[in-house]
């Protein structure tokens, strides 16, 4: 069966993402323009627009399109903003961030994810994206950002990352113990971080940020 990717992408945005309370027109435009099918593993390309998480290597996965939309909307990005993404993964969200913001730094602990994303961002409209291999636990950006987002779940948010937000900056992450996780947005209010629970969801953990195994005798 031949898939009309343009029509399928339009239907994903209009029939899945928008009804999931994603009403930011810039977010909807970005998700329409970025060719999600080019970021999905080849074996799952026909499922690129299904509202389901798609597996990647290293036990990680792409978010469902509806969750991607809610996250991008929660960041409330302006064209002049700078963004730090924790977890490049497939690079799809990175590309959307590149459409929405002035500059994007994206880090991932997995070298193959980083190299693949870099190859996808050569030329075209992605000159404002910088992908680096790094571990969030030891990463030192040396600057602050207007927004920070985690593309995988965390048990608890590493406190030091809140220091990477400029005044008025926003941070999005999914935290908690599966399956009872929550999407949360933090706002930097003059050096004081305020957390707002947005909705319940479930997401695989980012490498190094999963629960510590407990052994019972």
Would you say residue 10 lies in a domain? yes
**Triad 184, 90, 60: Cα angle to 5°:** 65
Q: Does the residue 213 lie in any domain?
A: no
> What is the C-alpha separation between 96 and 153, in angstroms, rounded?
19
- Three-state secondary-structure class, residue 90: coil
Task: Look at the alpha carbons of 75, 146, 172, 130 in this order and tell me if their dihedral is positive or negative.
Answer: positive
- Average pLDDT of the residues of the chain: 93
In this predicted structure, what is the pLDDT of residue 191?
78
Residue 33's pLDDT is what?
A: 95
- State pLDDT tens for residues 11-50: 999 999 999 999 999 999 999 999 999 999 999 999 999 9
pLDDT score of 213: 59
Contact predicate 56/90, CB 8 Å: yes
* Domain assignment of residue 206, yes or no: no
Q: How confident is the model at residue 214 (pLDDT cuts 50, 70, 90)?
A: low
pLDDT tens-digit series, residues 159-193: 899 999 999 999 999 999 988 899 999 999 987 88
**For position 146, what pLDDT does the model report?**
98
User: b/e for 17-28, b at 16 or more Cβ within 10 A?
Assistant: bbebebebebbb
Is the per-residue pLDDT at 215 higher than 60?
no
Residue 38 maps to a domain? yes
How far apart CA 79 and CA 203 sit, in angstroms, is 28
Q: Is 111 exposed, middle or buried (0-12, 13-18, 19+ CB in 10 A)?
A: exposed
With respect to residue 189, please indicate whether it lies within any of the assigned structural domains.
yes
Beta-carbon contacts of 42 under 8 Å, excluding residues fewer than 6 positions away, are none
The pLDDT assigned to 54 comes to 94
The answer as to whether 190 is a domain residue is yes
What pLDDT shows up at residue 175? 95
List phi, psi (to 5°) of 60.
Answer: -100, 175
**C-alpha distances in Å from residue 152, one per residue of 53, 61, 71, 216:** 11, 8, 11, 28
Percent composition of the chain: helix, strand, coil (DSSP 3-state, to 5): 35, 25, 40
Q: Please answer whether residues 183 and 70 qualify as being in contact, where contact means their C-beta atoms are separated by less than 8 angstroms.
A: yes
Say which residues have a Cβ less than 8 Å from residue 148's Cβ, sequence separation at least 6: 83, 84, 85, 86, 161, 164, 165, 169, 170, 171, 172
- Domains identified in the chain, total number: 1
> pLDDT tens digits, residue range 135-157?
999 999 999 999 999 999 999 99
Residue 214 lies in a domain: no
pLDDT score for 123: 76
Q: What is the CATH number of the domain that holds 78?
A: 3.40.50.150
For the entire predicted model, the pTM comes to 0.93
* Greater model confidence, 213 or 114: 114
Place of tokens 């928008």: 18
Q: What is the pLDDT of residue 1?
A: 62
Which band of pLDDT confidence, cut at 50, 70 and 90, is reported for residue 211?
confident
The domain in which residue 65 lies consists of 5-201
């Amino acid at each position: 069966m031949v898939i009309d990717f343009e029509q399928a992408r339009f239907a994903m945005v209009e029939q899945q993402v928008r009804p999931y309370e994603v009403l930011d027109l810039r977010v909807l435009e970005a998700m329409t323009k970025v060719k999600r099918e080019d970021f999905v593993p080849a074996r799952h390309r026909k499922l690129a627009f299904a509202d389901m998480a798609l597996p990647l290597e290293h036990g990680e996965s792409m978010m469902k399109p509806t969750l991607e939309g809610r996250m991008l909307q929660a960041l409330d990005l302006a064209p002049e903003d700078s963004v730090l993404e924790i977890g490049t993964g497939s690079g799809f969200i990175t590309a959307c961030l590149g459409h929405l913001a002035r500059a994007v730094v994206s880090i991932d602990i997995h070298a193959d994810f980083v190299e693949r994303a870099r190859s996808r961002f050569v030329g075209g409209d992605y000159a404002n994206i910088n992908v680096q291999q790094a571990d969030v636990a030891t990463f030192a950006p040396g600057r602050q950002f207007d927004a920070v987002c985690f593309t995988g779940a965390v048990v608890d948010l590493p406190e030091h990352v809140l220091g990477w937000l400029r005044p008025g900056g926003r941070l999005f992450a999914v935290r908690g113990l599966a399956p009872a996780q929550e999407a949360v947005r933090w706002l930097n209010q003059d050096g004081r971080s305020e957390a707002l629970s947005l909705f319940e969801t479930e997401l695989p953990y980012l490498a190094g940020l999963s629960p510590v195994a407990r052994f019972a005798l």
